[in-house]
Amino acid sequence: MVAGLYGASAVQAALRARDVGGEGGQVIDLSLLEPPYATIGPDLSIYERTGTIKQRVGSGSNNSSPRNVYRCADGKYVALSGPLKVWRSGVFQVVGAPEMIQAPRFRTNANCVAHMSEVDAAISDWFETKSRSEALATMYAADVTVGPVYDIADTFADAHFRERRVFVEVEDDELGTVTMQNITPAAVFQDARGMALPGPRNWSVYRRNPDRSGTGSRTDRSSASGRSGEIMRSLLDVPANSERFVAKSADIGADVIILDLEDGVGEAQKDNARRTLTEAVQICASGSLQIFLRINGGTERERADVEAVFRAGAHGVFLPKARNAHHIRQLVETLESHEAQSLCVAPLKLIVAIETADALFKARDIARASDKIVGLNCGSEDIATALGASRLRRRSIFQK
């Protein structure tokens, strides 16, 4: 199977080379040897450089601890991973071994790997006293990264598997019908799940606002765009007080324009930028599905910025430097207070920026703080600065 997947990818690459004008054709030299060997990761490099041969550790890991599969009292299994200190501390607390948090031999991930048997013993003893459902509920409440290990009966009963149609019933001459794995990726085949091939109707989901005349009101744009208004593939950050950048932004084609009242505007210009927001929103409205305002979150200017959002008729708020879930709920209370006074035609959306190491570890709680949140944004430069991380000079291959 692994070789087949590699072969299919190689065929696609060869066909692509043909389509772009490659000469001479492509030769695919594929055996059953190389594909599975390619999946072993860095083990070969580690051996070549250090002479170290990783030993078998069953369902555990040579690189991180705690990380293993554990048996519960009802005979079912769970998989758990908690190599970072904040996660590891939560695990030790839940299993009733808080003394392990500060113990020198468990202080770092490397220490825990070196004493893996002790770590696994403490965790295993706890799981063996709980049913899987009880154990998962307790671990989830403590924000531990854990999940059930399914057997075939679990997959058959899981609503997610059924709704995704991971398996289907097919006709069989001898058995009548038999349940088996569905074709994958099923979206390629219309008959597999009744999913239509890409066609004209898809454009109604992916297209941008057709009204580029600049005359559409916020209400018009919201009702016309439908679900397409929820697509946020690209965000364009524009200083709210720059007439030149604001004018150009309407023709860039971004899904979301963020008019920046924070870092993009100097202290002396913030009040004036706030006064001219309505005009800036109207200009941007001719070319973007959604317009968010980046406010000065967590400062004395935050409330004035929020009031300006409503006056300008933007679609939502971009909150930088989110601290925690309480910070989000306070902002949402202010937004809902304005909405109750009919100061906007539709509930505002919220994009939250995670820009500190502390907020990064609270991202799950922040994301759950309000239904208004439609996206999280990671400020990689700010987080790197907060962590004291060094930046690589070489160009990134992948988009962050």
Structure-model confidence comparison of residues 33 and 227, the more confident one? 33
Look at the chain and count its residues: 400
Bridge partner list, 349: 316
Q: Is 249 helix (H, G, I), strand (E, B) or coil?
A: helix
Contact 322, 308 (CB under 8 A): no
Note the pLDDT of residue 275. Answer: 79
Q: Is the pTM of this model over 0.75?
A: no
Write 83-91 long-range contacts (CB < 8 A, 24+).
83/109, 83/112, 84/109, 86/361, 87/143, 87/144, 87/145, 88/112, 90/142, 90/143, 90/144, 91/66, 91/123, 91/139, 91/142, 91/144
Q: Which residue has the higher pLDDT, 204 or 64?
A: 64
pLDDT over 70 percentage in the chain: 82
Residue among 99, 149, 146, 96 at smallest CA distance from 126: 96
User: Is pLDDT at 202 greater than 70 in this prediction?
Assistant: no
Could you check whether the bond before residue 185 is cis, i.e. omega within 30 degrees of 0? yes
pLDDT in tens, 78-118: 999 988 888 899 999 999 999 999 999 998 988 999 999 99
Question: SS3 breakdown of the chain: % helix, strand, coil, rounded to 5?
Answer: 45, 15, 40
- Band of pLDDT at residue 222, cut at 50, 70 and 90: very low
Closest alpha carbon to 63 in 126, 122, 108, 123 = 108
Q: Answer for the pair 41, 63: CB distance below 8 angstroms, yes or no.
A: no
C-alpha 22/C-alpha 339 separation (Å) is 59
Sketch out the chain's domains with CATH numbers: 2-50 (no CATH), 67-149 (3.30.1540.10), 157-193 (no CATH), 206-387 (3.20.20.60)
Residue 147 has pLDDT above 90, yes or no: yes
Residues 159, 171 contacting (CB under 8 angstroms): no
DSSP string, 285-303: TTT-SEEEEE--TTSTTHH
pLDDT greater than 80 at residue 359: yes
**pLDDT-based confidence at 346, cuts 50/70/90?**
low
Among 74-78, 164-168, 379-383, 389-393, top mean pLDDT goes to: 74-78
**pLDDT of 268 higher than 60:** yes
> No. of H helices and E strands in the chain?
21, 11
Question: Strands 67-71, 176-181: parallel, antiparallel or unpaired by DSSP?
Answer: unpaired
**Cα 398 to Cα 400: distance, rounded to the nearest angstrom:** 6
